Amino acid sequence: MKTIGLIILRSLRQHLLSTTITALSIALAGGLLMSVWVVKVQSQTTFTQVNTGFDAVLGARGSKLQLVLNAIFHLEASPGNLAYSDYEFIRRHPAVKLAIPIAVGDNLRGYRIVGTGPELFSDVEYVPGRKFTLATGTLFNPAAKEAVLGDFVARKLGLHAGDTFHPFHGLIYDEKNQHAESYLVTGILAPSNTPADKVIWIPLHGLQTMAGHDPRAATDVSAVLIQLRSPTAGFMLDMMYNKQGNRLTFAYPIGAIMAELFNKIGWFDQVLTLISYLVALVSAGGVLVAIYNSMAARRRDIAILRALGARRRTIFSAIVLEAAAIGLLGMIAAFAAYAVILTGVATVIRNQTGVLLNTWAYNPVMLWAPLGMIALCALGGLLPAWKAYRTDIAGNLAPVS
């Protein structure tokens, strides 16, 4: 066994260039495979769990998914507004524990300005047991032109408590559409790793009455975020708004609506997974080709080892294990590739949604991908190993005569 180890080590060293290149291709393939897998699983679990503390969203008639993306994730356009009376009605409904209105329609350099009530910060646990807290400053005065910034957007825009800014009209940044009003930053929220981090929060009234907004809609809200007293209440309201009514949309449950989104884009990560499987297969094939191509150079060494008494199966095992060792080296490096890829993906997802993926959370893929890859490489080693097994000693012992 010690001897086989020495043979493998020396062989890896003798073919250092091809060892390195094949190991790197394994690293890339393994890193890709693990990344695709983890991003898929992590984003699915994270995004179907993120609800920032709400059970349902009430909004204008339209797509539930759009409503959730707009009201919870602060993505997509708003499907429309609802009258203040609709908000009043649901707020008073006995099945509803808490109803918080939001209004959208302005931005600051592409970051959304969302109008809401102070209850969002005082009454809501965005994950069980945790409320939004201020890292610096104080909460906005609901009657003043004041703003509280999410941690992410504050850092991106370089704004601090005490700074002022002029909002821009619309959800998409256009420098020609600047409002005249000036808002004072009164505080910065502590990071919550939720979409709230990339939002500029101002009083509901402020957004509704921003100069240039339609004065007839000055009391309208964009959506109402709802906490229910019981799950059955959700189905009851679903029935009431979506089946019997036709004016509004009640998006419930939020997790299921997000899961639907992942079902819709499921083909996409299936394609990615398939591609990463193929890349893994190709790179294991690369191990086969690399060792197979070096067989001519190895034949003399094999013949010498055989002449020294090495058995055929020893030579066979050494080649298979060498292939597996390349797989092992590659998969160790694959974790570095994984770290790089996933950090990149997590950064993009954080920038786009404010949600932070748990990059290093244990995922079974981190076990089965390396083991599978090593096994695949060993499998790729079988063919050259068979060739080595068949190597004729007498014919390969030095140039005779």
Partner 1 sequence: MGAFVRPIAGLMSLLSITALQKSFRSPEGERKTIVDVPAFTLAAGQQLALRGESGSGKTTFLHLIAGILAADSGSIHIDGRDMAALGESGRDRLRAESIGYIFQTFNLLQGYSVLENVMLGMAFGAGSDQTRAAAMLDRVGLSHRLKHYPRQLSTGQQQRVAVARALANHPKLVLADEPTGNLDHKNARESLALIRETCRENGAALLLVSHDPGVLASFEAVQDFSALNRADQEAAR
What is the distance between the alpha carbons of residues 29 and 17, in angstroms, rounded to a whole number?
Answer: 18
Neighbours of 158 (CB within 10 A): 7
Q: Binding residue for partner 1 (CB under 8 A) from 57, 199, 306, 346?
A: 306
CB of residue 399 to ligand ATP, shortest distance in Å: 11
Verify binding: residue 3, partner 1, rule CB under 8 A. yes
Verify binding: residue 180, ligand ATP, rule CB under 6 A. no
Part in contact with partner 1 (CB under 8 A); list of ranges 8-16, 108-116, 228-236, 245-253: 8-16
Contact call for residues 228 and 234 (beta carbons, < 8 A): yes
CB of residue 400 to ligand ATP, shortest distance in Å: 6
Cis peptide before 364 (omega within 30 of 0): no
Structure-derived torsion over alpha carbons of residues 51, 192, 103, 208, reported in degrees to the nearest 10: 160
Q: Can you tell me which residue has the tokens 């197979």? A: 292
Verify binding: residue 2, partner 1, rule CB under 8 A. yes
Verify binding: residue 401, partner 1, rule CB under 8 A. yes
- Quickly list DSSP for 253-321: -HHHHHHHHHHHTHHHHHHHHHHHHHHHHHHHHHHHHHHHHTHHHHHHHHHHHHHTT--HHHHHHHHHH
Judged by beta carbon distances under 5 to 8 A according to partner kind, the member of ligand ATP, partner 1, none in contact with residue 350 is: none
Q: Which residues pair with 202 in a beta bridge?
A: 115
Contacts 24+ apart (CB under 8 A), 65-68: 65/251, 65/257, 65/258, 65/260, 65/261, 67/223, 67/249, 67/251, 68/251, 68/254, 68/257, 68/258
Q: Binding residue for partner 1 (CB under 8 A) from 127, 259, 261, 304?
A: 304
Neighbours of 313 (CB within 10 A): 10
CB of residue 394 to ligand ATP, shortest distance in Å: 6
Nearer to partner 1, 271 or 307 (CB): 307
Instruction: Output DSSP code: residue 229.
Output: S
Verify binding: residue 290, partner 1, rule CB under 8 A. no
Nearer to partner 1, 143 or 394 (CB): 394
Structure tokens, 3: 């001897």
Nearer to partner 1, 6 or 336 (CB): 6
Part in contact with partner 1 (CB under 8 A); list of ranges 79-87, 185-193, 286-294, 301-309: 301-309
Verify binding: residue 398, ligand ATP, rule CB under 6 A. no
Binding mask 174-213 for partner 1 (x = CB under 8 A): ----------------------------------------
What is the distance between the alpha carbons of residues 75 and 92, in angstroms, rounded to a whole number?
Answer: 28
Part in contact with partner 1 (CB under 8 A); list of ranges 197-205, 259-267, 330-338, 390-398: 390-398
CB of residue 336 to ligand ATP, shortest distance in Å: 49
Verify binding: residue 401, ligand ATP, rule CB under 6 A. yes
Number of residues in contact with ligand ATP under rule CB under 6 A? 3
Element spanning 156, H or E: helix 151-157
Q: Site residues for ligand ATP, window 377-396 (CB under 6 A)? A: 395
Structure-derived torsion over alpha carbons of residues 365, 371, 377, 378, reported in degrees to the nearest 10: -160
The C-alpha angle 214, 215, 216, rounded to 5 degrees, equals 90
For the chain, the 3-state helix, strand and coil shares in percent, each to the nearest 5, are 55, 15, 25
Verify binding: residue 308, partner 1, rule CB under 8 A. yes
Q: Binding residue for partner 1 (CB under 8 A) from 310, 318, 320, 346?
A: 310
Q: Site residues for partner 1, window 52-71 (CB under 8 A)? A: none
Part in contact with partner 1 (CB under 8 A); list of ranges 102-110, 260-268, 310-318, 372-380: 310-318
Nearer to partner 1, 214 or 392 (CB): 392
Contact footprint for ligand ATP (CB under 6 A): 395, 400-401
Contact footprint for partner 1 (CB under 8 A): 2-3, 6, 10-11, 13-14, 300-301, 303-314, 393-394, 397-401
